[in-house]
């Protein structure tokens, strides 16, 4: 998770020099008039744009609320299991060193510090909850002792205590990268080969024989490598892991911004060892209003920022298709963050109930735009957030683990769209308050609608939608499961921040 995403700076850089046209103005200000006239939605069912290849899914970030015994643990993992999503991203994240780093002390001539006792329980629960589904693992945090420091780096003895400074160093002490690759090859061996042999020749047994589908190499450039350094470290880690588990595929970059230089360098195969796969690239987006704004402003700010991000995605996709067309793309952290997060005032009471629906609508909108671009995976961020750890990103209630509206929107998309669907030409006559995308499969015609505003908006449906069923998450359904009801056209009313999937009667 990016502490301060800088993708707007990147978008401005992209816009400079006419590399792309039509840069989005990020207003973040309320003021558009509410229309009483239904917004027309027209669909050309005979013009297929592309097959739906975009997987809606989520990320799971390790934190104390996911530990066994937490009041959130059972509900959160039950929600993850119930969803049944593919490409779920699992990220043991640096602020909790004892929960995410398996070797906290440098090995000596007589001992090592390998210890999975706090790491295994959550990892085992993650594998159990996602059994049968493709996953992405990202143990991003490099042990601090591998970096050049004037003295050993301390870490909190309490595993639940946050240490945001654990990553605050840049230069690896072993330029051969043997320490780095040795750590990751043993980590993968622990989970795939039943254990490993440590630096002193001693065997450590785990009993684990999990299948690691995808391994993501690092997260958000936490140690500020140059493009060349990152490519070298990626290649070394990939080569080491493939020796342990040859079937693993690899995910790269996971940047907190669409960094043009990083993408351009990394996607150039001449910058990698022969045979190194570039299976996936990933990057992140969080819409962030400012402290002086309220819900009335958020609804503009967040969707304007989403449009800016989509502009950056289009540019990166053009670069990817030119340099490495076989590489796939995942936007594996997509969410919204309120300015009160991680402040003394970040309690739940400061988050309006409608925010959760607004945030879910932003995710649905980014998913819709990504589907139109053929993006492979879009991960909503994140399963559990809570006060002091980005509470506004949570997909479940941080008191009992029950799903909230953000989870329900993902559930709606996951359960009602599939690879059998094809996107068809859809138009709303330049309407900006509602987004629409139609899909057609062998048996059904579907229409996904997203209300970007905090008021009810009527749409005029295509003639094919005289009757049918609508599955919806909005401010009236709140945290409840998506509600399915029959409808009769030609007019359909979207409640505030509604995400609705309409299916025409045959």
Which of residues 369, 397, 416 is at a domain's end? Answer: 416
Are residues 407 and 430 located together in one domain of the fold?
Answer: no
Are residues 362 and 439 located together in one domain of the fold?
Answer: no
Q: Between 137 and 388, where is the model more confident?
A: 137
Range of the domain at 455: 40-45+424-504
Are residues 144 and 120 located together in one domain of the fold?
Answer: yes
Q: Count of residues for the chain?
A: 506
Question: CA–CA separation, 378 vs 313, rounded Å?
Answer: 12
pLDDT for 17: 30
- Does the bond joining 228 to the residue before it have cis omega, within 30 degrees of 0? no
Taking residues 284-305, report their average pLDDT. Answer: 97
Q: Is residue 127 part of a domain?
A: yes
Are residues 280 and 201 located together in one domain of the fold?
Answer: yes
pLDDT for 24: 36
User: Is residue 325 pLDDT above 50, yes or no?
Assistant: yes
Three-class DSSP labels, 97-154: HHHHCCECCCCCCCCCCECCCCCHHHHHHHHHHCCCCCEEECCCCCCHHHECCCCCCC
440-456 residue pLDDT tens: 998 899 999 999 999 99
224-255 residue pLDDT tens: 999 999 999 999 999 999 999 999 999 999 99
Are residues 337 and 353 located together in one domain of the fold?
Answer: yes
pLDDT for 258: 67
335-360 residue pLDDT tens: 999 999 987 766 667 799 999 999 99
User: Is residue 16 pLDDT above 70, yes or no?
Assistant: no
pLDDT for 253: 97
Yes or no: say if 70 and 476 are a contact pair by the CB < 8 Å rule. no
Question: CA–CA separation, 339 vs 113, rounded Å?
Answer: 39
Are residues 443 and 393 located together in one domain of the fold?
Answer: no
pLDDT for 218: 97
Q: Is residue 1 part of a domain?
A: no
CATH number for the domain harbouring residue 409: 3.20.20.80
pTM of the full structure: 0.93
Q: Is residue 35 part of a domain?
A: no
60 bridge partner residues: 90
Are residues 411 and 432 located together in one domain of the fold?
Answer: no
Are residues 285 and 180 located together in one domain of the fold?
Answer: yes
Q: Under DSSP, is residue 195 helix (H, G, I), strand (E, B) or coil?
A: strand
- Say how many C-beta atoms besides its own lie within 10 A of residue 13's C-beta: 16
Q: Is residue 152 part of a domain?
A: yes
User: Is residue 13 pLDDT above 50, yes or no?
Assistant: no
User: Is residue 288 pLDDT above 70, yes or no?
Assistant: yes
CATH number for the domain harbouring residue 495: 2.60.40.1180
Residues 353/359/360/361 CA torsion (nearest 10 deg): 110
Average pLDDT value for the chain: 92
Q: Is residue 129 part of a domain?
A: yes
pLDDT for 323: 98
Which of residues 364, 399, 416 is at a domain's end? Answer: 416
Count how many domains the chain has.
Answer: 2
320 contact partners, CB below 8 Å, separation of at least 6:
263, 267, 281, 327, 329
pLDDT for 480: 98
User: Is residue 100 pLDDT above 50, yes or no?
Assistant: yes
Are residues 143 and 194 located together in one domain of the fold?
Answer: yes
- Does the bond joining 490 to the residue before it have cis omega, within 30 degrees of 0? yes
**Residue 201: what are its φ and ψ, rounded to 5°?**
85, 10
Are residues 314 and 187 located together in one domain of the fold?
Answer: yes
329 bridge partner residues: 281
179-210 residue pLDDT tens: 999 999 999 999 999 999 999 999 999 999 99
pLDDT for 35: 56
Q: Is residue 34 part of a domain?
A: no
Are residues 433 and 406 located together in one domain of the fold?
Answer: no
DSSP state of 24: P
Q: Is residue 148 part of a domain?
A: yes
- Say how many C-beta atoms besides its own lie within 10 A of residue 228's C-beta: 11
458-506 residue pLDDT tens: 999 999 999 999 999 999 999 999 999 999 989 999 999 999 999 999 8
For residue 464, with 0-12 CB atoms within 10 Å meaning exposed, 13-18 middle and 19 or more buried, which class applies? middle
Which of residues 387, 416, 445 is at a domain's end? Answer: 416
Three-class DSSP labels, 211-271: CCCEEECCCCCCCCCCHHHHHHHHHHHHHHHHHHCCCCEEEEEEECCCCHHHHHHHCCHHH
Are residues 104 and 253 located together in one domain of the fold?
Answer: yes
Closest CA to 8 of 308, 370, 363, 336: 308
Q: Is residue 135 part of a domain?
A: yes
């Amino acid at each position: 998770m990016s502490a301060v995403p800088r993708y707007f700076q990147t978008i401005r850089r992209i816009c400079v020099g006419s590399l792309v046209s039509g840069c989005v103005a990020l207003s973040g200000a309320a003021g558009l008039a509410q229309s009483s006239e239904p917004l027309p939605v027209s669909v050309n069912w005979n013009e297929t744009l592309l097959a739906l290849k975009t997987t809606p899914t989520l990320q799971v970030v390790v934190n104390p609320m996911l530990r066994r015994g937490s009041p959130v643990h059972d509900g959160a993992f039950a929600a993850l299991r119930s969803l049944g999503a593919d490409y779920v991203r699992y990220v043991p994240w640096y602020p909790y060193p004892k929960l995410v780093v398996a070797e906290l002390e440098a090995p000596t001539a007589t001992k090592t510090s390998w210890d999975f006792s706090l790491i295994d329980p959550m990892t085992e629960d993650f594998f159990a909850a996602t059994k049968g589904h493709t996953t992405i693992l990202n143990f991003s945090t490099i042990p601090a002792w591998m970096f050049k420091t004037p003295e050993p780096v301390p870490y909190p003895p309490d595993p639940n205590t946050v240490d945001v400074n654990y990553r605050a160093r840049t230069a690896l002490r072993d330029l051969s990268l043997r320490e780095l690759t040795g750590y990751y090859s043993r980590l993968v061996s622990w989970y795939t080969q039943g254990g490993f042999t440590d630096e002193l020749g001693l065997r450590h047994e785990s009993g684990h024989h999990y299948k690691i589908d995808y391994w993501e190499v690092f997260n958000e450039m936490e140690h500020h490598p140059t493009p060349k350094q990152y490519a070298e470290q990626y290649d070394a880690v990939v080569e080491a892991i493939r020796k342990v588990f040859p079937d693993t595929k690899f995910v790269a970059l996971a940047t907190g911004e669409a960094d043009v230089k990083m993408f351009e360098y990394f996607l150039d195969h001449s910058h990698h060892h022969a045979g190194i796969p570039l299976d996936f690239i990933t990057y992140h987006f969080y819409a962030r209003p400012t402290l002086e704004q309220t819900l009335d402003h958020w609804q503009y700010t967040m969707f304007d920022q989403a449009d800016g991000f989509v502009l950056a995605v289009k540019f990166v996709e053009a670069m990817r298709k030119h340099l490495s067309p076989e590489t796939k793309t995942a936007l594996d952290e997509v969410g919204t963050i309120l300015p009160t997060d991680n402040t003394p005032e970040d309690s739940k009471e400061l988050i309006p109930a409608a925010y959760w629906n607004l945030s879910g609508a932003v995710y649905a909108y980014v998913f819709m735009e990504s589907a139109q671009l053929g993006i492979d995976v879009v991960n909503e961020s994140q399963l559990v957030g809570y006060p002091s750890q980005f509470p506004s990103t949570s997909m479940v209630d941080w008191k009992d683990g029950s799903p909230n509206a953000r989870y329900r929107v993902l559930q709606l998309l996951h359960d009602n769209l599939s690879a059998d669907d094809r996107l068809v030409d859809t138009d709303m006559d330049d309407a900006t308050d509602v987004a629409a995308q139609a899909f057609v499969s062998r048996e059904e015609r579907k229409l996904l609608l997203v209300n970007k505003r905090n008021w009810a908006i009527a749409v005029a449906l295509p003639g094919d939608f005289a009757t049918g069923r609508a599955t919806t998450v909005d401010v009236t359904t709140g945290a409840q499961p998506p509600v399915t009801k029959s409808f009769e056209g030609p007019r359909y009313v979207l409640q505030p921040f509604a995400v609705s999937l309409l299916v025409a009667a045959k």
